[in-house]
């Protein structure tokens, strides 16, 4: 079992595009997958509150500048594909809303790769993409942290397990990675002692995946911090977890594991809803 088409989302002007290219091509090589890359230029938008006249050609100039800025990224992608040698890929640009562009392509992919939201401020063009596409595309999303290089991921994987539909989905969507891992650690936080959750180990064993199960009791820190602390302590290089067990509105207002991991992730994280 493996991913055969990986959709890579590259956002205009994002300095982390090259890092995501490298991670995705390495992953594609391990999976025998084709990389379909999409360089997304946000549509030109004139603020409704603009107080001065806007030149009629400003939109054309905007797109001309963005297309020129895209050229080095497109060339870097093609060079990375050529250098790897065993991976096929294609890249194109879009000028539609970023979420719309990804949704149009998601029907023909097995996995979407995107970047972690920005650390400070908020860019409405890109910072909600991971959550939005996780909820709408029906595909797993692999988010790459905003700092660091991540080559050859998936050797030591942490599965954040809870008995929810989205977590079950994440485990199934992560199977191509879990099957190739050297170690899979299933982390259960505050799990009931009824013996049933241990069935996750038996389920994965039937996929020839050797699993370690770690039960923890969480009282004084958040579940997200528990996950991140375990990643650090156990040397994990990938997290697989369900996304948005609560509504987006509730997570925005009161906090939630998905939101906190997105903000503070230290390794690539596969989300599924």
In this prediction, residue 24 carries a pLDDT of: 98
CATH superfamily of the domain spanning 156-272: HUPs (3.40.50.620)
pTM of the model: 0.90
Q: What are 114's strand-pairing partners? A: 143
Measured distance CA(15)–CA(10) in Å, rounded: 10
In this prediction, residue 150 carries a pLDDT of: 95
Q: What are 187's strand-pairing partners? A: 160, 214
Question: Which parts of 128-247 fold into alpha helices (H)?
Answer: 129-136, 165-173, 175-178, 199-205, 223-234
Out of 3.90.650.10, 3.40.1280.10, 3.40.50.620, 2.40.50.140, select the CATH number for domain 5-144. Answer: 3.40.50.620
In this prediction, residue 254 carries a pLDDT of: 36
In this prediction, residue 163 carries a pLDDT of: 80
Measured distance CA(269)–CA(177) in Å, rounded: 12
CA nearest 243: which of 263, 262, 227?
262
CATH 3.40.50.620 placement within the chain: 5-144, 156-272
In this prediction, residue 192 carries a pLDDT of: 73
- Determine the distance from the C-alpha atom of residue 168 to the mean position of all C-alpha atoms in its chain, rounded to a whole number: 17
SS3 211: strand
| Tens of each residue's pLDDT in the chain, 273 residues | 799 999 999 999 999 999 999 999 999 999 999 999 999 999 987 665 555 666 768 888 999 999 999 999 999 999 999 999 999 999 999 999 999 999 999 999 999 999 998 766 556 556 588 988 988 888 999 999 999 999 989 999 999 998 888 899 999 999 999 999 999 999 998 877 777 667 888 999 999 998 999 988 888 789 999 999 999 999 999 999 998 865 555 444 334 888 899 999 999 999 998
b/e sequence 52-73, b meaning 16+ C-beta within 10 Å: eeeeeeeeeebeeebeeebeeb
- Determine the distance from the C-alpha atom of residue 174 to the mean position of all C-alpha atoms in its chain, rounded to a whole number: 12
CA nearest 187: which of 222, 242, 230?
230
In this prediction, residue 250 carries a pLDDT of: 44
Backbone φ and ψ of 201, nearest 5°: -65, -45
Phi-psi region of 152 (alpha: psi -120 to 50; beta: other; left: phi over 0): left
Measured distance CA(149)–CA(19) in Å, rounded: 6
């Amino acid at each position: 079992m493996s991913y055969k088409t990986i959709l890579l989302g590259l956002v205009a002007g994002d300095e982390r595009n090259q890092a995501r290219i490298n991670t995705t091509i390495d992953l594609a090589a391990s999976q025998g997958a084709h990389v379909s890359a999409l360089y997304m230029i946000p549509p030109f938008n004139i603020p409704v509150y603009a107080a001065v006249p806007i030149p009629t050609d400003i939109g054309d100039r905007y797109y001309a500048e963005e297309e020129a800025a895209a050229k080095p990224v497109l060339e870097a992608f093609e060079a990375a594909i050529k250098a790897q040698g065993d991976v096929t890929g294609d890249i194109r640009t879009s000028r539609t809303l970023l979420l719309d562009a990804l949704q149009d392509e998601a029907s023909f992919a097995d996995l979407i790769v995107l970047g972690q939201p920005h650390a400070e401020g908020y860019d409405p063009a890109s910072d909600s993409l991971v959550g939005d596409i996780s909820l709408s595309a029906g595909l797993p999303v692999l988010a790459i942290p905003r700092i660091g290089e991540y080559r050859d991921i998936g050797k030591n994987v942490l599965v954040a397990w809870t008995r929810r539909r989205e977590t079950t989905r994440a485990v199934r969507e992560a199977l191509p990675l879990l099957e190739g891992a050297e170690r899979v650690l299933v982390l259960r936080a505050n799990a009931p002692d009824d013996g049933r959750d241990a069935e996750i180990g038996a389920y994965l064993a039937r996929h020839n995946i050797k699993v370690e199960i770690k039960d923890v009791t969480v009282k004084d820190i958040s579940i997200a911090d528990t996950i991140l602390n375990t990643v650090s302590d156990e040397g994990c290089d990938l997290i697989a977890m369900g996304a948005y067990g609560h509504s987006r509105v509730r997570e925005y207002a009161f906090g939630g594991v998905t939101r906190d991991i997105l903000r503070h992730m230290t390794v690539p994280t596969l989300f599924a809803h």
